[in-house]
Amino acid sequence: MVVLNGREFRTEPNSTRLITTPVAVTMPANTRQVVDFANRYGGPATSLIIDNTDGAQAVTYNINGQFITANRLPASSFRTFDNMIISRVEVDSTGGPSTQPVQITAQVAGRSYEIGPRIGPQQESLT
């Protein structure tokens, strides 16, 4: 097990390397969408690729809400992020408007577990 942001994740045996699962999200053209990896897939992404398949229009993206202004991804290009803890990514293809989808592919860590005292279910008393 390894601890990230106060949560426990499964790792490979005798290692701190996270067990990850590949996921793919296709965002429709001319939309603005947020992918929240923890809520949607149960854990953060550790690697991510954003692929703008539109040959004419750029899209913007923001990773973990860390940029005041979103970064620009030119037409027919991609951007990769590796060895990071990525909770969410926001992609906006409405600026062009875009006519082709944006493809997001990520490696997502397995479901996490809260750290702290484990309290079993409590039964209500009828008295």
- Intra-chain end-to-end CA distance of the chain, in Å: 43
Distances (CA, A) of 78 to 42, 68, 72, 103, 125: 25, 21, 11, 9, 59
Over the stretch 27-38, which tens digit does the pLDDT of each residue have? 999 999 999 988
Look up the pTM and report it: 0.75
Output the average pLDDT for the chain: 82
Contact present, 118 and 100 (Cβ < 8 Å): no
Asked if the structure places residue 120 within a domain, the reply is no
Is residue 111 over pLDDT 90? no
Helices (H), 1-127: 37-41
Domain with 31 in it: what CATH number? 2.60.120.520
115 beta partners: none
- Residue 5 falls inside a structural domain: no
Q: How much is the average pLDDT of 100-109?
A: 92
Assess if residue 79 is contained within a domain. Answer: yes
Classify residue 36: in a domain, yes or no. Answer: yes
Full residue range of the structural domain in which residue 53 is found = 20-114
